[in-house]
Amino acid sequence: MIRVPILMYHSVTDRPRPETRSLAVRPSAFAEQLSYVKERGFTPLTLGDLVAAVHNSGGRELPGKPIVVTFDDGYADFHAEALPVLTRLGVPATIFLTSGWMRDAGADAAGRPLDTMLSYGQAAEVASCGIEIGGHSHSHPQLDQLPIAELRQELKRNKALLEDRIGTPVATMAYPFGYSSARVRREVRKAGYWAACAVGNGIATDRHDVLAVPRLTVGWNMGMTRFARAVEGRTVPLIYLRERALTKGYAMVRRTRYAVRQVAHGD
């Protein structure tokens, strides 16, 4: 069985806002974590390259110790803080962008960004450095709670805007808040995405649904000991065990909430 740690980052900064602090990582910690990854013999891949290698698409082979580094939302500090480290260490990554949150989204602005976001020009520069651009919805809603028409619009608009403004294909995505459902995943495939990330806080394997790939959350309180245990897959840190239990319980609540809303609206 193939086992791959897929790391989920958000903001890389020494001065996070209260809204993003729990999922932020200091630049010094980020550099130490990626240095550990390289020193331990992992081969970083983009999410697209990982999926292609697992399925031997185009003859691509999977390296011995693959790992994937991902970022959600598209904060401006990715360009200022994360990209220099990734470039210096030769680590490719995947960044999932919320099109309505882009700093120069203009008339397409939607949702409520939690911090200063990337501009399309910066995103294009990032893509030119070998970073894979993925989708993260248009306005960052809870996709599994949306009516079908709104869900389709969130997915298609996000993909179309990113491809048009950045000029690169967008074939992978991550669910805002990690929430999805069988209905959402069907629409994701119809929208043209061929791989998608959830959260899950577990090691990804080739047995997982390619449209619900689990990741490991990396946040403010993760020290190097916990980070090492997570990426090596030796033990699942206790904080992940608690979060996974909460996620499973909340998933049932969310399915019930959506069903009740559909009945109330006569759908």
pLDDT, tens digit, for every residue of 29-77?
999 999 999 999 999 999 999 999 998 776 678 999 999 999 999 999 9
Q: Give the pLDDT confidence of 135-184 residue by residue, as tens digits.
A: 999 999 999 999 999 999 999 999 999 999 999 999 999 999 999 999 99
pTM for the whole thing? 0.89
Contacts of residue 128, defined as CB under 8 A and 6 or more positions apart, other chains included, come to none
Burial state string for 101-124 with b = 16 or more CB within 10 A and e = fewer than 16 = bbbebeeeebbebbbebbbbebbe
Q: What is the CATH number of the domain that holds 36?
A: 3.20.20.370
Tally of domains in the chain: 1
Residue 264 lies in a domain: no
Structural domain including 15 reads 3-236
253 in any annotated domain:
no
Handedness of CA 2, 51, 125, 191 (dihedral sign): negative
- Does some domain include residue 211? yes
Q: Of 188, 9, 183, 2, which is closest to residue 81 (Cα–Cα)? A: 9
